[in-house]
Amino acid sequence: MEILSELPEDLQRGLNRAADLLCDARHVLAISHIDADGITSLAIVVSLLRRSKIPHIWRNIHQLNSETITEVAELLRENHSDVVIFSDLGTGQRALIEKMRRQFESVRGIIILDHHLPQSGGNGQSGEEDAGDRMRGEAERRSDIVEINPHLHGMDGSFDVSAAGVAFLLALTMDRRNVDLSELAVVGATGDLQRYYGRGLVGTNKRIAEIGERAGVLLRKRDLTFFGINTRPLPFLLEYCTEPYLPGLTGNRDACMSFFEERDIPLKDDEDKWRMWTDLSPDEKKRAVQGLVGVILEAGYPPSVAQNIIGEVVELLRRPQRSEMRIAKEFATLLNACGRNSRPEIGVRICLGDEEAYSAGRSLLQVHRQNLSSALRRLEENGYEETDGMYIVRDPETPDTIVGIVIGMAQGSKIVPSDRPVIGIATRTSDEGPFVKISGRAHKDLVRKGVNLKEVFVSVARAMNDRHGQLVVEAGGHPMAAGAFVRDEYLDEFLERVSSLLEKTLAKPKNKR
């Protein structure tokens, strides 16, 4: 297929090597992350394995670290798998993966489908950065580890293609008839915020969407980028809008109803049923958008915020109408709800067409929304800490699975300012181990100014691990969104070091263009 031939030659070779490993596999173990990109990439992998009739099992894990790698090893031992696939993780944990692989002579190959930024030192494990680089080169010369990551081929995994997109490229390499899996690749990219804030997919993501359109599985169109245009009645669409926060409308149902009534836009149809945004005529949408632009500009937002409320929306044509699966953005949120409530396997099953799983997923979505709402209310009541380099949110009641979403929404809804990165601390972790979960978010304007949360987290982790002579921090992620696990007794040191580095970056003059 044309998209494959357009890829860098070394990337094509990696895909072909991965496909060869799978074609000769006796049994495959597939491991992936729990967020929307991890869930969709795993669903794509499971689909290609099923269609190729390759025996396999699959699991989602919250993180791949020094503790969970033992779980992967146990699965290998129990199932006698000879090929392992990691998706949406693995690039930052090469040393751990190679160490595990050496325990199993029966493992013929390991495939990593990732999009996270590679960096010397990987996840900041002390003493492993140089060894990890050496093992990576040695393993790839032996051809038993195939790492497919856009960053290794002159592409950018933050916006060019996500892990689900990488998995889709492998599925196409296995069989050109797997074009229908393009819808899941687009959902994964959307869930990973690779859509440039409504301005549409770019790079390989865009090419994958074009393939999906030609295959008749999705449709790209310009429309309102708010969450819920297909599922929320008109007043609720605005009442629960936080991206952007709408002063006078967000959180005020009566005002939202009046907004549409004043513009002669009926809230209900002839059968007295609530209308959704997708039910509006072009003229009604135009009047509503004009009103929303006025609200946004009067609130003091820059014109770009008003411009971005209209953008590319992806409709999934084979998914049920009026369901959370019909619009890519809502589908991604449904999958995140499954993962963030410790049931990522339900999300995978939804992707694979399981109707019972969809019913369970909708229930988890309600729980997810309630958890987010409660966390935001606590943040409004309790406030946040302020340092010269960042804002800090501490909430012992917020689980580690949603702390990153909460702090992102907090900045989007102006509960926390966006002029500095925000760091969320979750002591309520999934595995109840000795580590505290840290999540960081930085507004796109800060990233343009030079803020790179992943580099900051990883460099601090490496320095602390070296200083203390043991693993006290593991870190990774993206420039705009990064995470870390920190041993509780070293938390204050980690925060001080991170704040200091961020303060220096923020103090630098903005680059002139």
Q: What is the residue-level pLDDT of the chain in tens, covering all 513 positions?
A: 689 999 999 999 999 999 999 999 999 999 999 999 999 999 999 999 999 999 999 999 988 888 899 999 999 999 999 999 999 999 988 989 999 999 998 899 999 999 987 865 444 443 344 444 444 444 444 458 999 999 999 998 888 999 999 999 999 999 999 999 999 999 999 988 766 544 689 999 999 999 999 999 999 999 999 989 999 999 999 988 877 778 788 878 999 999 999 999 999 999 999 999 999 999 999 999 999 999 999 877 778 888 889 989 999 999 999 899 999 999 999 999 999 889 999 999 999 999 999 999 999 998 888 888 888 889 989 999 999 999 999 998 998 888 988 998 888 777 899 899 999 998 876 656 688 999 999 987 898 889 999 999 999 999 999 999 999 999 988 888 899 999 999 999 999 999 999 999 999 875 543
Separation of alpha carbons 125 and 438, rounded Å:
16
Separation of alpha carbons 301 and 369, rounded Å:
26
Phi and psi (nearest 5°) for 393?
-115, 120
In this prediction, residue 273 carries a pLDDT of: 95
Among left, alpha and beta (phi > 0; psi -120 to 50; other), residue 469 is left
Separation of alpha carbons 392 and 295, rounded Å:
30
In this prediction, residue 141 carries a pLDDT of: 45
> Where are the strands (E) in 36-184, listed by range?
56-60, 83-87, 109-113, 145-148
In this prediction, residue 65 carries a pLDDT of: 85
Q: Within the chain, which residue ranges are assigned CATH 3.10.310.40?
A: 383-505
Task: Kindly provide the b/e burial profile for residues 399-424, where b requires at least 16 CB atoms within 10 angstroms of the residue's own CB.
Answer: bbbbbbbbbbbbbbbebbebebbbbb
Alpha helix ranges (H) inside 215-281: 234-239, 253-261
Per-position DSSP letters for 337-375, written without gaps between them: HHHHTT-HHHHHHHHTT-HHHHHHHHHHHHHHHHHHHHH
Whose CA is closest to 338, among 445, 461, 447, 187? 187
In this prediction, residue 281 carries a pLDDT of: 97
What is the signed CA dihedral for 490, 494, 497, 501, rounded to 10 degrees? 170
Separation of alpha carbons 99 and 116, rounded Å:
20
In this prediction, residue 376 carries a pLDDT of: 86
In this prediction, residue 328 carries a pLDDT of: 95
Per DSSP, 327 falls in state B
Q: How many separate helices (H) and strands (E) can be counted in the chain?
A: 20, 13
Whose CA is closest to 291, among 252, 265, 329, 254? 265
Alpha helix ranges (H) inside 192-252: 203-214, 234-239
In this prediction, residue 444 carries a pLDDT of: 79
Burial label for 141, CB within 10 Å (0-12, 13-18, 19+), is exposed
Task: Say if residues 198 and 297 touch (Cβ distance below 8 Å).
Answer: no
Q: Is 213 helix (H, G, I), strand (E, B) or coil?
A: helix
User: How many Cα atoms are found within 13 Å in the side-chain-facing hemisphere of 355?
Assistant: 1
Task: Say if residues 215 and 354 touch (Cβ distance below 8 Å).
Answer: no
User: Which of 3.40.1190.20, 3.30.930.10, 3.10.310.40, 3.40.50.300 would CATH assign to domain 383-505?
Assistant: 3.10.310.40
In this prediction, residue 316 carries a pLDDT of: 97
Task: Kindly provide the b/e burial profile for residues 273-289, where b requires at least 16 CB atoms within 10 angstroms of the residue's own CB.
Answer: eebbbbebeeebbebbe
Architecture of the domain made up of 2-179: Alpha-Beta Complex (3.90)
Q: Within the chain, which residue ranges are assigned CATH 3.90.1640.30?
A: 2-179
Its pTM stands at: 0.81
